[in-house]
Amino acid sequence: MTYPVQKTDAEWQAILQAKGAEAVAYQVTRHAATERPFTGKYEAHKADGSYHCICCDAKLFDSNTKFNAHCGWPSFSQAVPGSISEITDRSLGMTRVETVCSQCGAHLGHVFDDGPAPTGLRYCMNSASLNFSPS
């Protein structure tokens, strides 16, 4: 899949370093790693604002869609329309739906159908793939 924002691995590493991203951010966003549960800086974060892709700054979620799913990762019930692309993920012996940034292809996490009404969705994201902007 091709995305509007394209960079080399070295460029992504430099961008993340310049932003002071978490040490695992490059592995999470560019190689689909997963941070350990309950370790991310946004897991229990509750401020008003919006969450953006750590790589390209695309707006992904509004804080009013964030909820505590008790899963160890920040969870949201709705993404900003058009901000996320979904990819079938058959790794680890299961079938899941991977979520990536529609602008740069950064791995964000996965989406599940066990979230709250009205969407019924749980976007389970890695904190390392996100950046927060207060209102």
Annotated catalytic sites, by residue?
A: 124
Please list the residues that pair with 125 across neighbouring strands.
109
Phi, psi of 91 (to 5 degrees): -80, 165
Phi, psi of 80 (to 5 degrees): -60, 130
Phi, psi of 116 (to 5 degrees): -75, 165
3-state SS, residue 55:
coil
